[in-house]
């Protein structure tokens, strides 16, 4: 299941749950107009590459297999979170539009640009809205099912934000 696929990593598995919700609406047989497949909406080439990196036994016929799709999607999100300093906004943009596009959007703004300014500068409308939707769903899950604060402290990702005392 979704929580199991994300549970072995050091980040909140509700983030992956929100990603799957927004990517596929929990439809395991869905295929996007771009060709992304399954619950975590993996492009076939990305699924093959990530499965190899993760040491997951994989062949293209398994892209709709729920445990395989979720395992690859969870590993991919974890690797993107690692690449982008645990910043969920950057990892999600990269998951949706690819690391090359995310790096280009990062390079177009000053390094100290606030996260909301960065999100609004994403030139792909689909990705800009995707990042906001997934994070909104994540915050909803956190509010409904979390045991800590309703909103995580993401102040390190937003230049002017400070955590509430």
Of 22, 23, 120, 126, catalytic: 23
User: Any residues with CB less than 8 A from the CB of 85 and at least 6 apart, and which?
Assistant: none
Please confirm, yes or no, whether 120 is among the known catalytic residues. Answer: no
Q: What is the token pair recorded at 25?
A: 């609406």
Name beta bridge partners: 37: 31, 42
Asked if 34 and 42 touch (Cβ cutoff 8 Å), the reply is: no
Asked if 130 and 19 touch (Cβ cutoff 8 Å), the reply is: no
| Residue the block writes with tokens 């689909």 | 126
Name beta bridge partners: 31: 37
Asked if 66 and 96 touch (Cβ cutoff 8 Å), the reply is: no
CB atoms within 10 A of CB 112: 8
Active site residues: 23
């Amino acid at each position: 299941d979704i929580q199991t696929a994300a549970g072995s990593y050091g980040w909140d598995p509700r983030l992956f749950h929100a990603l799957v919700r927004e990517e596929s609406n929990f439809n395991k047989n869905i295929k996007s107009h771009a060709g992304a497949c399954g619950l975590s909406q993996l492009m076939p080439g990305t699924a093959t590459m990530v499965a190899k990196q993760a040491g997951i036994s994989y062949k293209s016929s398994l892209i709709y297999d729920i445990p395989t799709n979720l395992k690859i999607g969870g590993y991919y999100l974890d690797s993107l979170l690692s690449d982008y300093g645990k910043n969920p906004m950057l990892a999600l943009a990269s998951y949706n539009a690819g690391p090359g596009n995310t790096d280009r959007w990062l390079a177009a703004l000053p390094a100290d640009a606030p996260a909301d300014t960065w999100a609004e500068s994403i030139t792909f409308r689909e990705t800009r809205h995707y990042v906001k939707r997934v994070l909104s769903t994540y915050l909803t899950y956190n509010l409904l099912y979390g045991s800590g604060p309703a909103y995580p402290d993401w102040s390190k990702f937003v230049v002017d934000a400070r955590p509430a005392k």
